[in-house]
A and B are shown apart, each in its own frame.
Chain A
Amino acid sequence: MSAAAVDCAGVWKFYGDYPALRDISLTVPPGRCLALIGRNGAGKTTLLRMLAGYSKPGKGQVSIFGKSPRETDTRQRIGFIGHGIAVYDELSAIENLRLFARLYRLPNPERAASEWLERTGLERVRDGLVREFSRGMRQRLAVARAFLHGPSLLLMDEPFTALDDRAIAVLQAVLRDALAAGRTVVMSTHQLREAMDLATHVALLNRGRLAFHGERTEEMVKDPGWVYAQYGES
C-alpha cells in the first residue's frame, strides 16, 4: 500500500494568539485532484504552505508520501505555485528554468528547460528577461518552474487568479497531463468554475476548520457555489 500523498493528522497552526488552522485532519490519496475552497482568511494559504514544508504545525503532524515535507527526497517530489511567481526578474526565461533544473538535480537540465519553455508557449522569448514579460507570460513561466522537475505532488495557491486566457489554457493542459500520469494535485482557488472542471474532490475551509471534504458531485459542477451554500459560514 503506497503512502498517501498528503496526510494531515490533528493539525493546528497558530500565529501568535490566533489559530489559523484548527484540528485539520485530511488524507489525499495519490492521483487525486483536490480543490481547496474557502473565503479569504479561511486558512487555505496557511495549509498549503504547511504542506509544502514552509512552516511547521503548532500541533499535529503533516506527512507527504509518508515522510516529512522537509526531507530532501520529499522536496524533490513537490511542486509549489504560491502567490509570487518565484522566478528571477533579472534573469531570462531559459536561465531561470536552467537554474531550477540544476537545483532539482535533473540529469539533463538544458533539455528539461527547453521542453518546458515549449510546453508553456514561451520558446520565442526564451532569452527575454522576466522583468519585461507580461503578467500572463510570468504566470506561464511560474507553471514551467513548478512542473519542471516532474513532481508527484502539485500544491498550488490560487493558480488561476489573474491569468489571461492563454495562461489558463496552458495550466489546464499541464494539469490534465499531470493527473493523467497519476500525479496528485491540491489547489486552493476562488475560480470555482475552472477548479470544478479538474477536481475529483473538494474540501471547504471555514475559519480554519475543515467544514467539508468529499467527492466532487454533479451539483458542484452545475453550481460551483453549492458547497458554500451548504457548508459555508455558520
Chain B
Amino acid sequence: MFAMLALAMVLLVRNLYTISLLPDEVNQGQIFRIIFFHLPAAIAAMLGSAVALVASVMFLWKRNFQYDALAVAVTEVGLAFLAVNLVTGSIWAHVIWGIWWAWDPRLTSALICWILYAGYLILRQALEEPTQRATFAAVYSIFAFTDVPIVYFSIRWWRTIHPQPVFFSKDGSFPPDWSRALLINMVAIFLLYTVLTMIRLRQEQTQREIDYLRRTVHAI
C-alpha cells in the first residue's frame, strides 16, 4: 500500500511541475490548470459509486460484512473527491464568470449526486444495529446508483432548454501535451483514491475486530 501511496505522490508532484510549465490557454488564462484535478476527481467519484453498487449487491447476496465495509469506505472517499470536484468547479466559475455557482449540467448533476450519497452516510448514522444498518444502506446505495444516470440526463435536457455558461466542452481542441498530463494525473488520483479507500477499509475492519473481541469478552 505504501508503494502505491509513494507512487501517487511522486506522480502528483511531477505533474504539478509539468502543469505549471504548460503555456497559458488562450481563453481562460491560468485557471485552466484546474481541469487536471477537476476532471479526474469526478471520474474517480463515478467509478467509486460503481464499486459501491457492486459491494452493496454483493453484501445483500452473500451477507459478508467485508462488502459492507467496502461500500462505506468507497462511498466516503468518493464523497470527498466529489467535493473536490464541486469546489474546483466553483472556483473555476468564479474566475471565469465572476459567479460562485453556475448551473452547468455536469456540476449540477455532481451536486445532486453528492447529496444522494451524503444521504447514504446520514442513513447509516441513524441505524445502530449493524446488520440492519448494512442491509438498509445497501438497499439505499442501489437506489442512489440507479438514480445517478437519470439525474444526469434530466439535468442535461433541462439545460438544453435554458442554455447555461459552458465550462469545458470536450469536443476537440485538446492539445496533446495536455492529454498526457491529464492521463498521468488521472492515474495519480485513482491511486490516491484507492489508498484512501484501503485506509478507511482497514479502519472499518479494525472496528469490527474490536466489536468481536468485546462480544467474546461479554460472553465469558
Task: Report yes or no: B218 in contact with A16, Cβ–Cβ below 8 A.
Answer: no
- Which A residues from 11 to 32 make CB contacts under 8 A with B? 14-19, 22
Interface of A is mostly: strand
Task: Report yes or no: B130 in contact with A16, Cβ–Cβ below 8 A.
Answer: yes
Task: Report yes or no: B219 in contact with A16, Cβ–Cβ below 8 A.
Answer: no
Task: Report yes or no: A22 in contact with B130, Cβ–Cβ below 8 A.
Answer: no
Task: Report yes or no: A17 in contact with B211, Cβ–Cβ below 8 A.
Answer: yes
Interface of B is mostly: helix
Task: Report yes or no: A15 in contact with B218, Cβ–Cβ below 8 A.
Answer: no
With the chains together, A165 CA to B72 CA distance in Å?
54
- Count contacts on B: residues with CB < 8 A to the other chain: 9
Chain A residue nearest to B214 in the complex (CB)? A17
- Which A residues from 27 to 70 make CB contacts under 8 A with B? 56
With the chains together, A19 CA to B128 CA distance in Å?
16
- Give every chain B residue within 8 A of A56 (Cβ-Cβ): 131
- Give every chain B residue within 8 A of A15 (Cβ-Cβ): 129
With the chains together, A210 CA to B130 CA distance in Å?
25
- Give every chain A residue within 8 A of B215 (Cβ-Cβ): 14, 17-19
- Which B residues from 175 to 220 make CB contacts under 8 A with A? 211, 214-215, 218-219
With the chains together, A34 CA to B45 CA distance in Å?
56
- Give every chain A residue within 8 A of B214 (Cβ-Cβ): 17
- Give every chain A residue within 8 A of B219 (Cβ-Cβ): 19, 22
With the chains together, A14 CA to B65 CA distance in Å?
14
- Give every chain A residue within 8 A of B131 (Cβ-Cβ): 56
- Give every chain A residue within 8 A of B211 (Cβ-Cβ): 16-17
Q: CB-CB contacts of A68-79 with B at 8 A, as 1s and 0s? A: 000000000000
With the chains together, A14 CA to B211 CA distance in Å?
11
With the chains together, A187 CA to B55 CA distance in Å?
40
Task: Report yes or no: B129 in contact with A18, Cβ–Cβ below 8 A.
Answer: no
- Give every chain A residue within 8 A of B130 (Cβ-Cβ): 16
Chain B residue nearest to A55 in the complex (CB)? B131
Task: Report yes or no: A18 in contact with B128, Cβ–Cβ below 8 A.
Answer: no
With the chains together, A18 CA to B214 CA distance in Å?
8
- Which B residues from 124 to 140 make CB contacts under 8 A with A? 128-131
**A-B pairs with beta carbons under 8 Å apart, 12 shown:** A15-B129, A16-B128, A16-B129, A16-B211, A17-B211, A17-B214, A17-B215, A17-B218, A18-B215, A19-B215, A19-B219, A22-B219
Q: What 15 new A-B contacts, CB under 8 Å, besides A17-B214, A18-B215?
A: A14-B215, A15-B129, A16-B128, A16-B129, A16-B130, A16-B211, A17-B211, A17-B215, A17-B218, A18-B218, A19-B215, A19-B218, A19-B219, A22-B219, A56-B131
